[in-house]
Amino acid sequence: MKATIAIDIGGTQMRAAAYPIDSLEPLKVNRIPTQGTRLSPEERLSKLIESVWPEKADVLAIGAAAPGPLNPATGVVLSAPNIPKWENFELQQYIEKKFNTPAQIGNDANLAALGEWKFGAGRGHHHLIYLTISTGIGGGVIVDDRLLVGANGLAGELGHVTVSPGGPYCSCGRRGHLEAVASGPSIVRWVKEELERGMPSKLLSAKPLTPKKIAQAAHEGDELAQAAFERAGTFIGRAIVDFLHIFNPTAVIIGGGVSQVGELLFAPIREALPQYVFGPKYLEDLQILKAALGDDVGLMGALALTRDMLST
* pLDDT tens for each residue of 49-96: 999 999 988 999 999 999 989 999 999 999 988 888 899 999 999 999
- How many whole angstroms separate alpha carbon 242 and alpha carbon 277? 8
Confidence at residue 124, expressed as pLDDT on a 0 to 100 scale: 97
Domain count, the chain: 2
Any bridge partners for residue 106, and if so which? 65
- How many whole angstroms separate alpha carbon 64 and alpha carbon 247? 26
- 59/77 same-domain check: yes
Q: Is residue 118 one of the residues assigned to a domain?
A: no
* pLDDT tens for each residue of 215-226: 999 999 999 999
Confidence at residue 37, expressed as pLDDT on a 0 to 100 scale: 77
- 71/213 same-domain check: no
Question: Could you give the C-alpha distances from 188 to 119, 164, 185, 206, 209, in angstroms and in order?
Answer: 33, 17, 5, 11, 7
Phi, psi of 135 (to 5 degrees): -60, -35
**10-residue mean pLDDT series, the chain (312 residues):** 96 94 95 88 95 93 95 94 90 98 97 98 98 95 97 94 95 95 97 96 92 96 97 98 98 96 97 97 96 96 96 82
- How many whole angstroms separate alpha carbon 12 and alpha carbon 148? 27
Here the CATH number for the domain that contains residue 284 is: 3.30.420.40
Confidence at residue 206, expressed as pLDDT on a 0 to 100 scale: 86
Q: Is residue 147 one of the residues assigned to a domain?
A: yes
Confidence at residue 107, expressed as pLDDT on a 0 to 100 scale: 95
Confidence at residue 299, expressed as pLDDT on a 0 to 100 scale: 97
Per the omega criterion (within 30 degrees of 0), is the bond before 208 cis?
Answer: yes
Which amino acids are annotated catalytic? 108
Confidence at residue 161, expressed as pLDDT on a 0 to 100 scale: 97
Q: Is residue 267 one of the residues assigned to a domain?
A: yes
- How many whole angstroms separate alpha carbon 24 and alpha carbon 9? 19
- CB-based contacts of 226: which residues, under 8 Å, 6+ apart? 218, 264
Q: Is residue 8 one of the residues assigned to a domain?
A: yes
Confidence at residue 213, expressed as pLDDT on a 0 to 100 scale: 96
- 21/61 same-domain check: yes
Confidence at residue 57, expressed as pLDDT on a 0 to 100 scale: 85
Q: Is residue 11 one of the residues assigned to a domain?
A: yes
- 299/265 same-domain check: no
- 204/277 same-domain check: yes
Domain that holds residue 140: 124-292
Confidence at residue 241, expressed as pLDDT on a 0 to 100 scale: 98
